[in-house]
Amino acid sequence: MTISEQTVDLQPPTEQEVLTEITAMLATVLEEYGLDDAEAAAEVTMESRFTEDLELESIDLVTLAGQLRERWGDRINFAEFIAGMELDEIIGLTVGRLVRHVVDRLQTAGRS
Amino acid sequence: MAFLDLDGLRCHVQRLAPQDGRPPAATVVLLHGLLTDSLASYYFTLAPALAAAGLDVLMYDHRGHGRSGRPPTGYRLEHFVDDLEAVLDRLEVTGPVQLVGNSFGGTVAFSLAARRPEQVAGILAIESEPASRAWAVKLDGILRQAERHLVEEETLAWVAEQRGSHTARLARSAGALLAGTSLARDIPASLLPAEAELRSIRCPVLAVYGTESDLACQAAWLDGLLADCRSTFVPGQEHSVLIEAPEVVRELTLSWLREHGADLRDGVLRDGAVRDGVLTGRGSGR
């Protein structure tokens, strides 16, 4: 598992930059299941759904939450983001929705 | 911190602290159930609200489950209780803690209260019971069934159809756990606490049941057995109360802790109103 240092971002990242970083995190999470799943992570798009398309288990999302926190600190609280959702929303949660959440949070944090 | 080494066993731990920087009102340890369960059942339901209310929230994956290590043997109840003791010791959690146990997690909680009463301030047991001869016989039947069927493609396809692909994935993982370890044989062979040991549990206990669950009829027995036990029933729910009605369990837990002296804050989650929402397996998880 890689641990990236928290960096002070001068500019809030773009959606594309956040997508690239989250794709790398997903590859790390999926590595535990072997090569096939890790390859599937190379095809992560904004439309990919965590459970249906990427086949993540809930415990994998806990690992992802830890990586988000390592990267961006307390600004990104994935547990709270999920805890506010309906079951159907979570089942259909896309990578894009998380990416936009992260971008919004980092922009808000940048202004405050 | 994410992993502890418990004498060679990798233990995946998550701890959420109060976000206001003030000292925690109490420490709550969240114990998950068997097979399809993991700490994720709490991480995405109860845990954020408890941390927002000013609690030190500690949760970990039981051996064989989630991201913890999966030794081939060593799955009797007493091993799980040893792990809980070791986690508390390693994290230097000294004061008595509040335990919340879902299903088998509650069974672990009762066993710790019998073994180390000074460590346990209270127990909230969700769809759970202390270990007994009847419990061992029942788990033996459930685990034998699960071991046989959760490796069958037709069963997994049926689960996917009935409960969705995520639950089917959890069921497949549970099948792998049973196939790769002695868990199904070990649980029924657990050291069982004597009834006198259970009667000696003095801490307050709140037992939560679904009205439609087959455990609900045991409520009177447990109330009578334990010195300070009260039962509450969640209408329309079966065994998976935590997963199906997380908002109800959140409110029950917060009011239970308040009643027992925890000075909770009016924590509000940053992402707005908390509604029912989960991403965990439904169904089995004993």
Q: What is the CATH classification number for the domain harbouring B21? A: 3.40.50.1820
pLDDT at residue B279, rounded to an integer:
33
Out of A59, A62, A83, the one facing B269 most closely (by C-beta) is A83
A90, B279 contact by CB (below 8 A): yes
Strands B56-60 and B120-126 turn out to be unpaired
pLDDT at residue A110, rounded to an integer:
66
- Check residue B23 and report its DSSP letter: P
- Residue at A28 is within a domain: yes
B217 φ, ψ (degrees, to nearest 5): -70, -10
Cβ-Cβ contacts under 8 Å, B45 against chain A: 83
Q: Domain tally for chain B? A: 1
Q: Which two tokens stand for residue A40?
A: 């599937």
- Residue at A7 is within a domain: no
- Whole-number Å distance between alpha carbons of B130 and B109: 8
* ipTM higher than threshold 0.90: no
Q: Domain tally for chain A? A: 1
- Check residue A54 and report its DSSP letter: S
- Residue at A8 is within a domain: no
Query: Mean pLDDT over all residues of chain B?
Result: 89
B interface test, pick of A53, A58, A104 with most B CB neighbours within 10 Å: A58
Amino acid at the residue B41? S
Please give the residue range of the domain that contains residue B56. Answer: 3-129+191-259
Output B275 or A80, whichever has higher pLDDT: A80
With vertex at residue B17, the alpha carbon angle to CA B14 and CA B20, rounded to the nearest 5 degrees, is: 155
B36 φ, ψ (degrees, to nearest 5): -90, 0
- Residue at A50 is within a domain: yes
B75, B63 contact by CB (below 8 A): yes
Please give the residue range of the domain that contains residue A37. Answer: 15-111
pLDDT at residue B140, rounded to an integer:
97
Cβ of A31 under 8 Å from any chain B Cβ?
no
Output B165 or B210, whichever has higher pLDDT: B210
Position B181 pLDDT exceeds 50: yes
Query: In DSSP terms, which residues pair with B143 in a beta bridge?
Result: none
- Whole-number Å distance between alpha carbons of B200 and B222: 13
Position B224 pLDDT exceeds 80: yes
pLDDT at residue B274, rounded to an integer:
37
CATH of the domain at A80: 1.10.1200
- Whole-number Å distance between alpha carbons of B134 and B165: 33
pLDDT band, very low/low/confident/very high, at B285 (cuts 50, 70, 90) = very low
- Residue at A72 is within a domain: yes
Mean pLDDT of all residues in B231-252: 91
pLDDT at residue B182, rounded to an integer:
97
